[in-house]
Amino acid sequence: MTTIEYHLQSFKELKEKVKEDDTNFDDTEFHYLIEEIEQEISDVSERVFDHPKYNLIPTTEVPESITLDALEKLVIEIKRFIKKTQPFDKEEILDYMFPNRHDDDFDEDSMNYDSVFGKD
């Protein structure tokens, strides 16, 4: 089994796991898979860029360039899947856009001017 086949199989298994229980979506395993693939991309790209016939286009003259291209596309596909599958949390978005200074986790020091809300 090639590395791309292994990573595709891992992605497929994770998607099946999400499909079985979509109420508790946790993207941690997907991010671990992305990290693993990006490490593989780093290793393959070192070999590909050193090849004299490589010209930034996947070609059969440099077989690992095809693997590199497939791995990069797989990372993009996984990130799209994560974005599409994550539930939309209206409260979280509103809290991010409009922080409540009375929340316990409000960090006034992170504001770059005196006060967003005016004088107290």
pLDDT (tens digit per residue) in 35-68? 999 999 999 898 888 888 877 788 888 888 888 8
**Residue of 90 and 22 predicted with greater confidence:** 90
- 56: helix, coil or strand? coil
- The conformation of residue 119, written as its DSSP 8-state character, comes to -
> What one-letter code names the amino acid at 104?
D
113 — phi, psi (to 5°)? Answer: -145, 175
Can you give the residue ranges of every domain in the chain?
3-88
Query: Across the chain, what does the average pLDDT equal?
Result: 82
What is the C-alpha to C-alpha distance for residues 14 and 74, in angstroms, rounded to an integer?
A: 14
